[in-house]
Amino acid sequence: MRYCVRKLLGSASFGKFVEAHDLQDKEQVAIKVMKTNDHHTKSSLKEIELLKFINKAKGSRLIVKLHSYFCIGDKICSVFELLSNTLYDYLIEEYPAGFPLNATRNCSKQICNVFQFLSDLQIIHGDLKLDNLLVTHPEASTIKFADFGSAFRSGEKIITASTAQINTFVEVLGMPPSSLPDRSTRSTKFLEKTPGSDTYVLKKPCNSKTHKAAGMRKIQDVLDIDLEGSMYEKGEDDENFLYEYVDFIDFILLMLNYDPFERITRSEALNHKFFNSQEE
């Protein structure tokens, strides 16, 4: 026996994570034990294949490291380096009132760097969320991308948004220009043309949930930012913070541009003033 299980780290729909001691390499590791069904088996094998490739690439330091894998019966077990909490749990425990702007900037820049790195490898993560970003150490400010079970190589498939996501976009950004849904075969899932007009409206949701009118919700409300007072309440009384929050909102809106040809690119994002404001 090579691994001695110490404790359960967590469980989810895919299976569970346990902390174990590697008796051969004399170190603590995290083992992902997958449930046994076709979907989870394929997802696990895909993750192993991609991480073996990614971990060998130069610049993979912000990607979780896969040590090895083995099978117990028909369960696939992947052995990873042991890291700390998910970014979601870290936020809840350390910053229940919200992430400070400087910490947001630090994490955002790391995420943009990983996007650029994965893009160079022609890989799309496919399931980026706070639960899939791991803090390397409770006292550290470095995060690593994890859970590549939904990842894929560019061109393999197309990710479609959910109705809730599209409704939120429209609440904040307004309706997209008609030229964009006109040239998309998938837009009819969410939008429909007004009779006798070239304009589009959102399809009514099947559930009873209501949404604000197009363009009526401010991005700072979604981000829970009060430009007139919140930063001062948190002790950030330097007037430069006001401009940095404005830069942050500009950065977010540029990433949310409906038109992919006008949307900010990965390299442009890394050079945005939100990241460079502290260096000026």
Name the residues annotated as catalytic. 127
Bridge partners of 66, per DSSP, are: 80
- Rounded distance between C-alpha atoms, residue 153 and residue 119, angstroms: 9
* Amino acid of residue 270: L
Judge whether 10 and 85 are in contact, CB under 8 Å. Answer: no
Please report, for residues 122, 156, 256, the alpha-carbon distance to residue 118 in angstroms, rounded to integers and kept in the order given: 6, 15, 20
Query: Look-up: residue for tokens 């904040």?
Result: 172
Helix, strand, coil share of the chain (percent; to 5): 35, 20, 40
Element (H, E) at 181: helix 179-182
Element (H, E) at 222: helix 219-222
Triad 187, 189, 195: Cα angle to 5°: 75
Strand ranges inside 82-209, DSSP E: 123-124, 133-135, 143-145, 152-153, 191-193, 200-202
For residue 171, what are its two tokens?
Answer: 């609440």
Query: Look-up: residue for tokens 């780290």?
Result: 9
